[in-house]
Structure 1
Amino acid sequence: MTDRAAHMKAIHHVNLAHGMGVDVLRDHVPGVSIGAIHNRQIVRPEGGLAENQAAADLLDAHWNGVFCDPQHLGHYPEIMARDVEPYVQAGDLARICRPTDWMGLNHYGPIYAKADAGTTWGYGWGAPPESANHPEVGWPIFPEVFRDELLTLTRRYKLPVYVTENGCGGGAGSDTPDENGVVDDTHRLAYFREYQQAMLDAVAGGADVRGYFVWALLDNFEWGSGYGPRFGLYHVDFDTQKRTLKNSGKWYREMIKGQRT
């Protein structure tokens, strides 16, 4: 994004469309349960450096707050309110902030920001710490961040939360059936165990979590990453379309039966 004005206009019009959509559903679907799904990742400054904190704060507002706050609290994050103000007309925030019944959360791990004067907003994508636990996954694994995010949503927005996406990818080498047809994706199984425990810890701390959905059931096309990283509980041979349940899927199947924690 190189045009700040266009960026702000687009954000504001998405929010207006959200509010109008909620009203239309309320008017036409009696008893409907409405929620919006937000992709939220806690933002940390690259290297933990104070010089990157302002960048992290701004990325947090643009990534996490720019839709949640106006849709559920009726205002934009303070750090960016002045940028969007020229495009907000009288009554807009009331049109955006319509009553909803729940929030959806897509969450995978933290993201990092660094100061970059050469970008439109003065921040750029930062690198995670080299010591982060991300074998075969390609991103840092911090289950405590998941726990904290669930608690933050409950406390800040006071709505029930459904985890609508959570999981981890892996390269083809770690998600390929062996000679016995077994897909031993230990990295994903470990991720699920740690993140499930983090969710239980959040619930024990007061987070109002009503449901949890894995991303994804099947290996599939992952946006800009194509067919490279695999997220599924089922391995898919893209040539033959054969499906193979991975070890993480077997564990998850038993866990949701209440037979394993």
Structure 2
Amino acid sequence: MLPADFRFGTATSAYQIEGAVTEDGRGRSVWDTFCAEPGRIADGSSGAVAADHYHRADEDLRLLKRLGAGGYRFSVAWPRVQPSGSGPVNHRGLDFYDRLVDDVLGAGVQPMVTLFHWDLPQALEDDGGWLNRATVERFAEYAAVVGERLADRVEHWIPIASPNVLTMRGYGNGSYAPGKALMFEALPVAHHLLVAHGRAAIALRAAGATSVGCANNHAPVWPASDDDADVGASKLFDALWNGMYLEPMLLGRYPMDLAPLLEYMVQDGDMATIRQPLDFYGVNYYSPLRVGAAPEDSESPFDLREVMGYPTTDLDWPVVPDALREWLIMFRARLRAAVPPIYITESGCAYRGEPDENGVVDDQAQIDYHAAHLTAVAEAVRRGVDVRGYYAWSLLDNFEWAAGLSARFGLVHVDYETQVRTPKRSFQWYADLAAAIRAGND
């Protein structure tokens, strides 16, 4: 049973829903460039139009109000506010988010704003992107600009979404923008993102923000077998995926096994900057990871293996809600007093489904997913973990990064040809559940 004040929310990100990539002064982002490279996106699509939210925000806010969710997490597009990543502000872009915050509040919903959800201005990437420490300075300046305009009305702030995903997939294996396959040479990206997180937290608080947290992607990492090599590989991957982000933010240090690899890039004061007090800790969760030792001739010391024995989504992600409960309980047990209140800032699943002849999208699998994961959260709460809310990914079907438009995560179906919105069965289920919990019912 979740408490009556438990926050039910939903989430989106700018590049995944907004479209309008060449309008009103927006600059080019790394994802615009990445999507234009043949073979990068599974279905050859892009976020150039996506759900056209930039033009349809009023309609989407009516849906948000109808949903009755208490919170809405969305991101600000850096290239819409500063087209080249620095210098003059594009006021048409910033005005859009100013209106959006007002409209979210007008719908009776509290905004949770992410400053950066991977859409780096291409001009900064041309100068080295997150490999270049100067990008940290540009991000701090950008955070101050957005904070000055919006901090008086935004309930919660997240500087950077899932920095581990960007590090590993954007710069480590190249499967996401900017598409660099640097393996362990991508470690400076992780450090710069963490310092940028700290600098942005400082800038936001200086602008009046009262609640600053994070949204880190986390998952239990299971060894492929009991063999010492597989166990060792899983521990290393756990440090890279989980520990390298939560330990600096909460403890002011890198995991012991990784510290020697990172010490050359750490400047005086960096760890104190990263360890800004967090008002909440955001967990983005989708599925556990199974890791084994790689063959001797591999460039990497570990292999990601299939998590067997569980149902999977359309993206072949295993659906393991109990792994979320496991991670939350282990997280609290490991860090105890260092852990602030927790929000599940993302969790969701991709299942195809089109409206039937009656306009109904019967997405029972998505209902089952969220119901099971909320049950896992409730069990963690019962066990003493302070989880304050759950933000379902996503409000709308959207451009799902390298999977393109084929992966549908939304509570609302989007017809990408007509841009017609159709709330799925999961939409009404989520609305009813949130209302029931608020009323103190189960």
TM-score by length of 1: 0.90
Distance in 1, matches of 2:315 and 2:185, equals 34
Check whether the contact 1:154–1:161 (CA below 8 A) recurs between aligned residues: no
Within 5 Å, give how 1:143-158 maps onto structure 2: 143-155=321-333, 156=335, 157-158=338-339
2:379 to 201, 212, 223: 201
**Residue pair 1:146, 1:198 contacting (<8 A) in 2 also:** yes
Note the 1:164-183 alignment, pairs <5 A: 164-170=345-351, 172=352, 175-183=353-361
User: Quick check: 100-109 or 90-99, which moved more?
Assistant: 90-99
Q: Can you give the 5+ residue segments of structure 2 that lack an aligned partner in the other structure? A: 1-171, 173-180
Match of residue 242 from structure 2: 64
Cα distance 1:120–1:97, how it changes in 2: closer, same or farther (>3 A)?
A: farther
- Cα 1:118/1:71, change in 2 over 3 Å: farther
Measure, in 2, the Cα distance between the counterparts of 1:71 and 1:180: 49
Secondary structure at the counterpart of residue 109 of structure 1: coil
Counterpart residue type for residue 9 of structure 1: P
Deviation at 1:153, TM superposition (A): 3.5
Relative to structure 1, the CA distance from residue 47 to residue 251 in structure 2 (aligned partners, 3 Å threshold; closer, same or farther) is farther
Counterpart for residue 255 of structure 1? 433
Shift of 1:120: 3.9
Are the structure 2 counterparts of residues 191 and 3 from structure 1 closer, same or farther at C-alpha, using a change threshold of 3 Å? closer
**SS of equivalent to 1:213:** strand
Contact 1:112 1:125 in 2 (8 A): yes
Matches within 5 A, 1:22-41: 22-29=201-208, 32-41=210-219
Name the SS for the 2:281 alignment partner: strand
Q: CA RMSD in A?
A: 2.0
1 CA distance for matches of 2:191 and 2:390? 29
Identity %: 36
For residues 1-261 of structure 1, what are the structure 2 equivalents within 5 Å? 1=172, 3=182, 6-29=185-208, 32-46=210-224, 50-116=228-294, 117-129=296-308, 131-134=309-312, 136=314, 138-155=316-333, 156=335, 157-170=338-351, 172=352, 175-258=353-436, 261=442
Cα distance in structure 1, aligned partners of 2:362 and 2:315 = 14
Runs of 5+ unmatched residues, structure 1: none
Q: Provide TM-score, normalisation by structure 2.
A: 0.55
Seen in structure 2, the aligned counterparts of structure 1 residues 167 and 125 have a Cα distance that, compared at 3 Å, is same
CA contact (8 A) 2:225 2:231 kept: no
Helix, strand or coil for the counterpart of 2:358?
coil
Matched AA of 1:232: G
SS in 1 for 2:392: coil
